[in-house]
Structure 1
Amino acid sequence: GNVPILWALGGMFVGAYLQGYWRSRTRARDAAAAGAD
């Protein structure tokens, strides 16, 4: 059926979202550290 395809698409979407969130989070932290100096 199409269930495995839906799971694969969902996993890719969630993975991309989490990666983008983590990148923005670490970038914001680095900017704050640089601003403190």
Structure 2
Amino acid sequence: VQVTHTNYDGMVHAFFQLSPLSDAGKAAITQVAEAAKAALA
């Protein structure tokens, strides 16, 4: 299984769920969406 690890320094554990309030959260969601799209292509 191919894995990508990205560390978002200074973020709390649930920052992914706080994407409307955080640029890092938005970036994480974009990264996941792009990876899922590529995996399913």
Larger Rg belongs to: 1
| 2:39 alignment partner in structure 1 | 19
Where structure 1 has 5 or more consecutive residues not aligned to the other structure, the ranges are: 22-37
Deviating beyond 4 angstroms after TM superposition, the runs of 4 or more aligned structure 1 residues are none
Where structure 2 has 5 or more consecutive residues not aligned to the other structure, the ranges are: 1-20
Q: Which has the higher helix share?
A: 1
Give distance in 2, aligned partners of 1:6 and 1:15. 14
How high is the TM-score relative to the length of structure 2?
0.48
What percent identity do the matched residue pairs reach? Answer: 10
Q: Say which structure, 1 or 2, has more relative contact order (CA 8 Å, 6+ apart).
A: 2
Say how many residue pairs are matched. 21
Over the aligned positions, Cα root-mean-square deviation in angstroms equals: 1.1
How high is the TM-score relative to the length of structure 1?
0.53
Q: Alpha-carbon deviation of 1:11? A: 0.2
